[in-house]
Amino acid sequence: MCGIVGYIGKRDVAPLLLEGLQRLEYRGYDSAGIAVTGPKASGLKTVKAKGRVRDLEARVPSRFKGTTGIAHTRWATHGAPSDENAHPHLSQDEKVAVVHNGIIDNASELRAKLTADGVEFLSETDTEVLTHLIARSQADTLEEKVREALRHIEGTYGIAVLHADFNDRIVVARNGSPVVLGIGEKEMFVASDVAALVSHTRQVVTLDDGEMATIKADDYRTYTTEGSRTTASPTTVEWEAESYDMGGHDTYMHKEIFEQPDAVDRVLRGRIDDRFSTVHLGGLNLDAHDARKVRRVKILGCGTSYHAGMIGAQMIEELARIPADAEPASEFRYRNAVVDPDTLYVAVSQSGETYDVLAAVQELKRKGARVLGVVNVVGSAIAREADAGVYVHAGPEVCVVSTKCFTNTTVAFALLALHLGRIRDLSAADGKRIIEGLRMLPGQIAEILKREDEIKKIAKSYADARSMLFIGRVRGYPVAREASLKLKEVSYIHAEAYPASELKHGPLALIEPALPTVAIVPDDDLLEKNRAALEEIKARSGKILAVAHQEQEKADETIVVPKNENELDPILMGIPLQLLAYHTALALGRDIDKPRNLAKSVTVE
């Protein structure tokens, strides 16, 4: 989704902002723009371009000097991608420039009022109303002008504002869309995502909803949108700037798939307690007494995180014997769900900023529920909103499609399930068995990744499929769901996931040689049932690729993966299918890291 970068200091600002925008490219966007000023500048200078950051860069003139500036990558919501609709938006007198992430819900109403007052709009965006409101404010300070304008706004925003008459500062505000300040040596940064800052500083302040800040070259202050001062202490970002580089891989997706052995090692590190065959989860804030009182677990997430939650729910039921299920947060928030005091709600999110998940958490908290976050980005909105949580420590995930974070989230759920299980009825022997299984994961993932060439060959043979069916039963079903999502996102091949048990209740009608099936066939108590499904498909001349713990006779090809404990097998079985999606997309020449129409973190409705 849209990205914001801002800088105030002594350096030439345009190259810095363009570099920051490049670091935000992974979020998905369709146009970009930049506005600069400085103590010696008269007024603001702006350049905007539909297309990529490199298109913007090509338009920036050599004499585009300044030491203060804001920049933006836009993902079209109100109005098509175009030069005019790109941010920053300028006021009529060209003194105010605004970049904005989020959506202003009452924009059309405000636009009508402003138009009636004689304001001429240059774009179709919702953001432009904010620019005019700020410019028309009679208040004496920029902070007060912004505050006054925001009083008229309904909706979500992360904004950065420049004003030619107050060019010693940038004013920012947050409501539902992330804003992070980066503190440097006599220079300050602002961004919607730490990715844009970490090559300059790792000291950051994350604004809360309802908070504003004024940043100057050597100083910053934070306050509420009502004007009362707040205390925001800087924290240190753990992620290194290099984690955002491609590290010798051709794409971030490839890099992130191959980072999984290390990432899984990280989520386990320091958490295993061999003495009691359990795990310690520092941020959980759930003592044994409370944990015993949990009667249900409800997991909420979107997309891949929802699929990780489906695997998590099964692990919790199996290991802790607590009824558990997962539901898309995007559905849950709209259905006036019954909120039960004995249910533990778990919100899952890589970015920690997904609006549907955040809205579900806020609704749950409003109704008095206890919410745990299983989140990757430290200090993100969902992590802060949740009562407690488990960080998944996958490291920064840049590719729009999620791979390593999915895997780490499933491991984090295994830890949570083990923890809850050992407080309840899971025996120490079973706890030990699961711990041994967890310890095997990084090595087993590395083993699967060594089979890349074999999977690449298989992928090439599926690249001309128009559609593919993914099936799995019980533990295998969420794996099939996630594998099918991965394939459609990066290759644009239509894919559908079905429980293998449901085949004869409908989808069998689709089976023919042109519809390949990918079947998840673990060596568990359901092996024979799964084999029967393969037989049914084969009998109808369907082509089958199995992911299994042993060669499957009825399959045309089998990718054999190492066996772990039954409960942990789903963590491994999706990994070859990430590579399958990757190599199919590569064979088709897709834009792997930035699939069409998708954004990394969906911070709007």
Q: Which of residues 5-24 bind ligand F6R (CB under 6 A)?
A: none
In angstroms, give the least distance from the CB of 558 to ligand F6R.
25
In angstroms, give the least distance from the CB of 488 to ligand F6R.
10
Among 349, 530, 578, 584, the residue binding ligand F6R under the rule CB under 6 A is: 349
Q: Which of residues 301-320 bind ligand F6R (CB under 6 A)?
A: 302-305
CB-CB contact of 474 with 500 (8 Å): no
CA distances from 450 to 65, 249, 261, 455 (A): 50, 15, 12, 10
Q: Is 131 in the site for ligand F6R (CB under 6 A)?
A: no
- Degrees (nearest 5) of the Cα angle 582, 239, 306? 50
Q: Is 192 in the site for ligand F6R (CB under 6 A)?
A: no
Give which of 312, 521, 318, 303 is closest to 421, Cα–Cα.
318
CA–CA dist 45, 60 (Å, integer)? 10
Q: Is 259 in the site for ligand F6R (CB under 6 A)?
A: no
| Catalytic member of 2, 302, 399, 405 | 2
DSSP state of 561: -
Among 156, 351, 410, 564, the residue binding ligand F6R under the rule CB under 6 A is: 351
Binding footprint of ligand F6R, residue count (CB under 6 A): 14
Give which of 582, 357, 570, 355 is closest to 451, Cα–Cα.
582
Q: At a CB cut-off of 8 Å and minimum separation 6, what does 157 contact? A: 100, 101, 102, 104, 130, 150, 173, 174, 175, 176, 177
| DSSP reduced 3-state for 50 | strand
Q: Is 489 in the site for ligand F6R (CB under 6 A)?
A: yes
| Catalytic member of 145, 486, 543, 600 | 600
Q: Is 354 in the site for ligand F6R (CB under 6 A)?
A: yes
Among 146, 357, 360, 503, the residue binding ligand F6R under the rule CB under 6 A is: 357
In angstroms, give the least distance from the CB of 487 to ligand F6R.
11
Give which of 169, 196, 266, 188 is closest to 234, Cα–Cα.
188
What is the separation, in whole angstroms, between the first and last Cα of the chain? 12
467 beta partners: 494
Q: At a CB cut-off of 8 Å and minimum separation 6, what does 513 contact? A: 541, 542, 543
Structure tokens at 544: 């089958």
Task: Report the amino acid identity of residue 493.
Answer: I
Site string for ligand F6R, 387-406 (x = CB under 6 A): --------------xx----
| DSSP reduced 3-state for 451 | coil
In angstroms, give the least distance from the CB of 349 to ligand F6R.
3
Judged by beta carbon, residue 68 or residue 305, the one nearer ligand F6R is 305
Active site residue 2: yes
Site string for ligand F6R, 570-599 (x = CB under 6 A): ------------------------------
Structure tokens at 183: 């503190």
Judged by beta carbon, residue 31 or residue 330, the one nearer ligand F6R is 330
CA–CA dist 11, 122 (Å, integer)? 31
Q: Kind and range of the H or E element at 19?
A: helix 13-24
Site string for ligand F6R, 507-546 (x = CB under 6 A): ----------------------------------------
Structure tokens at 568: 């942990």
Q: Is 299 in the site for ligand F6R (CB under 6 A)?
A: no
Judged by beta carbon, residue 256 or residue 387, the one nearer ligand F6R is 256
3-state secondary structure 480-513: HHHHHHHHHHHHCCEEEEEEHHHHHHCHHHHCCC
> Which span (287-295, 297-305, 332-340, 423-431) binds ligand F6R, by CB under 6 A?
297-305
Q: Is 602 in the site for ligand F6R (CB under 6 A)?
A: yes
CA–CA dist 562, 572 (Å, integer)? 8
Among 444, 601, 603, 604, the residue binding ligand F6R under the rule CB under 6 A is: 601
Site string for ligand F6R, 446-485 (x = CB under 6 A): ----------------------------------------
In angstroms, give the least distance from the CB of 602 to ligand F6R.
5
Judged by beta carbon, residue 406 or residue 462, the one nearer ligand F6R is 406
Residue 536 CB-density burial (10 A; 0-12 exposed, 13-18 middle, 19+ buried)? middle
Judged by beta carbon, residue 455 or residue 602, the one nearer ligand F6R is 602
544 beta partners: 517
Judged by beta carbon, residue 1 or residue 171, the one nearer ligand F6R is 1
Judged by beta carbon, residue 303 or residue 507, the one nearer ligand F6R is 303
Cis peptide before 88 (omega within 30 of 0): yes
In angstroms, give the least distance from the CB of 57 to ligand F6R.
28
Binding residues for ligand F6R, rule: CB under 6 A, are 302-305, 349-351, 354, 357, 401-402, 489, 601-602
Residues with catalytic annotation? 2, 600
